[in-house]
Amino acid sequence: MKGRKINKGIADKAFSFVNTVVMLVLALIMFYPLWYVLVASLSNAMELVKYRGILVYPLDFTLDAYKMAFQNPLLLRSYGNTLFVVIVGVIINLLMTSFGAYFLSRKGIMFQKPIMIMIVITMFFSGGMIPFYFSVRDLGLDGSLWSLILPSAISTFNLIIMKTAFMAVPLSLEESARLDGANDPTVLFCVILPLTKATFAVIGLYYAVSHWNAWFHAMLFLDERTKYPLQLLLREILIQNNVSDMADTGNYTELGFISETIKYAIIIIATAPILCIYPFIQKYFTAGVMIGAVKE
Amino acid sequence: MKTIQRIKYNNSSWLGRCRKDLSRNKGAYIMVIPVILFYFLFHYKPMYGALIAFKDYSPRLGFAGSAWVGLKNFNDFFSSPDFARLLRNTIVISGTNLIFAFPAPIILALFLNEMSSLKLKRMVQTASYLPHFISLVVVCGMIKTFVGADGIIGILVGYFRGKTVNLLTEQDLFLPIYVISDIWQGVGWESIIYLAALSAVDVEQYEAAEIDGAGRMARMLHITIPSIQMTVITMLILRVGRLMNLGYEKIILLYNPAIYETSDVISSYVYRMGFETQNWGYSTAVGLFNSVINLVLLLAANLFSRKTTGNSIW
């Protein structure tokens, strides 16, 4: 695209200009809802309720909403639960996915094809929500955070991405390692992993984001509120409008006002980690989509 | 070739070859055991468990203790007054989404591709990918607050209509709220794949067309669009194959009894019939019906694609 500077007409320039402006306006529209939430969370609740119009900067800047939000003991607790699920979950995800991908990418294994078929079928057909629920419950996982980790230990889509990446590793490297007496785990972790670090990173990030954002399984399997992950607590506050134990100002109307800004503050608290790492990982996510687009 | 193979087959029986394969690839087989266990426990066991669709299931009696009832659950569903509504809502919401949310990322990619300033282009991309990473609960929480009676969109719409109400309590507005928020969350992310297809176009083609006097629009029509045609068709087929597979998570988060008439879809109904009314066999039957339709749609879309474009998703 860089070499396209020959002979630009006026119409061309006008198009470029209009296009750029339209795109920037679009970006602004895409971004504004998030900006609004940030600004509203930093505003004075009473001012915010009275305000009519486009909000650009905080009204009467205050951190009250954040202070109130952190008073809720469940918030930190659920943050901890989510962190546990993300960390332990991603480790298990990567181990299981790489084991599967290793098996499926090796040459000359007899039962590879039937196992591959068995795995791919699950992408297109499932027993459904209710039998899945009973299967997890039968294993006695309900009520524990493991119900959020084990049933989603492998995403078939990610498994296939990883398998494709493993297949690109030259066979000669594996063979020479084997001559040196390496066994299968050594080949996986000392030969293949260093060469497919980027894939591991992308898939690990995919898994981490999906654990961070998941709520539905938690709703199915967890009853005790002390076990709630962040997203389930958020659902209570944002969707079911349950702010009663968020703040004890005693005054109902005041609570009604401040509860709005507390909601915004909680959205920011829950989304901040993703927003903070987002700029650094953006290029990896894009690369991940590209790997996924490559047909096996 | 054939004789060599025959000799090999004669020399060792199938079992013998199995044993040899197992001993040679022992490590790989041991590593795949937890993977197989996972698929067995969380994918295949539920498939077997789906047989409760043909039973009058009660968790107290268990799978073996519950009585078989044949197709009763399916008949109940097809003859229930909910059936037509659920089918209509599923198709209408999914279809509208297909019409608007499918072309949106293509259009975005086409115009992003025309941006000459790389810096600004990257800025727009960063802003447009961002919503993809925000959790569904937060997105739905934002929607609820924005379209509420004193939310920013609620006020704006109320300004034009003369009255402010919570927009999520209005039956007619669920569809636009659902589709617009879907576009907002997905358009940037989905444009990546088209942008990649666009970046593969040979720059020389553009230069040649430019010398021949082709304007911007002509180049877009005759070079850019044909070059991403295959990607578009593949994505369209995948999308059509998922037509009935409308996600329940967003629906469950957004709907409320006041607008069930236009927002309740098959998958959200499965959830409600199961977990709220404990009608396990019935809701499994409804879910199974949906899974089978999905499978048929996907196979049909893929067959169509293979016949017409030679492209198959597997």
CB A34 within 8 A of CB B185: no
Q: What is the pLDDT of residue A1?
A: 46
- Res A3: pLDDT: 45
Q: What is the pLDDT of residues A260-269, one digit of tens each?
A: 788 889 889 8
User: Which residues of chain B are within 8 Å of residue A109 when distances are taken between CB atoms?
Assistant: 21, 25, 28-29
User: Taking the C-alpha atoms of A128, A131, A135 and A140 in order, what is their torsion angle to the nearest 10 degrees?
Assistant: 110
| Annotated domain spans of chain B | 2-68, 81-309
Q: Judge whether residue B246 has pLDDT over 60.
A: yes
In the predicted model, is pLDDT for residue B120 greater than 60? yes
* Mean per-residue pLDDT, B33-38: 96
Of all residues in chain A, what percent carry a pLDDT higher than 90?
31
Characterize A18-36 residue by residue with b for buried, 16 or more Cβ atoms within 10 angstroms of its Cβ, and e for exposed: ebbeebeebbeebbbbbeb
Say how far apart CA B3 and CA B59 lie, in whole Å. Answer: 59
Taking the CA of residue A63 as centre, how many other CA atoms within 13 Å lie in the half-sphere pointing to its CB?
4
**Residue A254 in this model has a pLDDT that exceeds 60:** no
Nearest CA in chain A to B47: A127
Of A34, A110, A184, the CB nearest to B130: A34
Q: In this model, does residue B152 exceed pLDDT 50?
A: yes
pLDDT of residue A244: 55
Q: Which residue has the higher pLDDT, A219 or B218?
A: A219
pLDDT of residue B59: 82
Q: What is the pLDDT of residues B156-172, one digit of tens each?
A: 888 888 777 888 888 88
Distance between CA atoms of residues A70 and A63, nearest Å: 11
Q: What is the pLDDT of residues A140-188, one digit of tens each?
A: 999 999 999 999 999 998 999 899 889 888 888 888 888 888 888 898 9
pLDDT band at B7 (very low <50, low <70, confident <90, very high): very low
B252-276 mean pLDDT: 89
3-class DSSP assignment, residue B219: helix
**Digit-coded pLDDT (tens) for A113-146:** 999 999 989 988 888 899 999 999 999 999 999 9
- The residue of chain B with its CA nearest to that of A124 is B295
Q: Which residue has the higher pLDDT, A287 or A294?
A: A287
Cα torsion angle, A94, A99, A104, A107, sign: positive
Asked whether the beta carbons of residue B42 and residue A151 sit closer than 8 angstroms, the reply is yes
What is the set of domains in chain A, with CATH numbers?
10-71+243-293 (no CATH), 73-226 (1.10.3720.10)
The answer to whether A157 faces chain B, any CB pair under 8 Å, is no
- Most confident among A287-296, B55-64, B72-81, B244-253 (mean pLDDT): B72-81
Say what the ipTM of the complex is. 0.85
pLDDT of residue B236: 84
Decide if A30 and B116 are in contact by the 8 Å CB cutoff.
no
- Best of A18, A79, A130 to disrupt the B interface by mutation (most B CBs within 10 Å)? A130
Shortest distance between the Cα of A250 and any Cα of chain B, in A, equals: 23
- Structure-block tokens of residue B90: 């599923």
Size of interface A-B (CB pairs under 8 A): 262
Which residue carries 């230990």 as its tokens? A153
The full DSSP string for B38-105 is HHIIIIIHHHHHGGGGGEE--TTTHHHHSEE-TTHHHHHHHHSTHHHHHHHHHHHHHHHHHHHHTHHH
A49-79 pLDDT per residue, tens? 777 767 788 888 888 888 888 888 888 899 9
Whether pLDDT at A232 is above 90: yes
Q: pTM of this prediction?
A: 0.85
What's the CATH superfamily of B81-309? MetI-like (1.10.3720.10)
